[in-house]
A and B are shown apart, each in its own frame.
Chain A
Amino acid sequence: ETGVTQSPTHLIKTRGQQVTLRCSSQSGHNTVSWYQQALGQGPQFIFQYYREEENGRGNFPPRFSGLQFPNYSSELNVNALELDDSALYLCASSSGTGVYNEQFFGPGTRLTVL
């Protein structure tokens, strides 16, 4: 069974640029959630995709957007990067959206915005 993978591992961008982060879900999982973990804080929910549709969204502006593909892999896109976007971005996959569907996390992408 292949676990959740994310790419790239690290990324450095400058303010105003755009970035795309990628996530491959665990085999058999159709749901992907994205979280932002700022330094010294717990992860904050960005949004969730279920069967290629956005299933819910946290308190993040529209410049944070996403996609889920037919193979259930996912992308997180962030436009007009700001310094405060510097964080560890975590992707989690699950076999559904219910409470019994445990979320399995990837290793994360460390984004630094200069």
Chain B
Amino acid sequence: AQSVAQPEDQVNVAEGNPLTVKCTYSVSGNPYLFWYVQYPNRGLQFLLKYITGDNLVKGSYGFEAEFNKSQTSFHLKKPSALVSDSALYFCAVRDRYDYKLSFGAGTTVTVRA
């Protein structure tokens, strides 16, 4: 069975500071990893994905994520956070033969001005 853990319920950072949202995963075989963002009363918006290739993945809105197979992690990062980055962030995983996405519980990011 595949699963995702987001160990932090909340992350608070000052605008302009680096932002990191943590994610670890468990899956049999090669993992396919995703990050989504959700704003209040909105659906999920895709940020980035890791399927294969370079461990550093660049995505939308200046976000990037680093795949670390030995630590089974896929942390989301942004070098300089904006107030508008305040939202709920979800990490998700699927394996090659499963069609569904398995999501973590989410991390609420608050960026203060």
Interface residues, chain A, CB within 8 Å of chain B?
4, 6, 33, 35, 40-45, 48, 55-56, 58, 90, 92, 97, 99-100, 102-108, 110
B47 to chain A, nearest CB (A): 11
* Pairwise interchain contact B44-A45, C-beta atoms closer than 8 A: no
User: How many B residues are at the interface, by size bracket?
Assistant: 20 to 34
* Pairwise interchain contact A58-B100, C-beta atoms closer than 8 A: yes
Interface residues, chain B, CB within 8 Å of chain A?
4, 32, 36, 41-46, 49, 51, 90, 92, 94, 96, 98-106
Q: A41-B106, A99-B51 are in contact. Are A48 and B44 (CB under 8 A)?
A: no
Q: A42-B105, A42-B106 are in contact. Are A105 and B100 (CB under 8 A)?
A: no
* Pairwise interchain contact A42-B99, C-beta atoms closer than 8 A: no
Chain A residue contacts of B96, Cβ below 8 A: 99
How far apart sit A6 and B92, CA to CA, in the bound complex (Å)?
22
How far apart sit A103 and B36, CA to CA, in the bound complex (Å)?
11
How far apart sit A72 and B102, CA to CA, in the bound complex (Å)?
23
Closest 3 CB pairs of A and B: A42-B103, A45-B100, A105-B44
* Pairwise interchain contact A48-B100, C-beta atoms closer than 8 A: yes
A sample of 6 cross-chain residue pairs with beta-carbon separation below 8 angstroms, ordered by A number, consists of A4-B43, A35-B101, A42-B4, A45-B100, A56-B99, A108-B42
Which B residue's beta carbon lies closest to that of A58? B100
* Pairwise interchain contact B43-A106, C-beta atoms closer than 8 A: yes
Chain B residue contacts of A107, Cβ below 8 A: 41-43
B19 to chain A, nearest CB (A): 20
How far apart sit A113 and B104, CA to CA, in the bound complex (Å)?
25
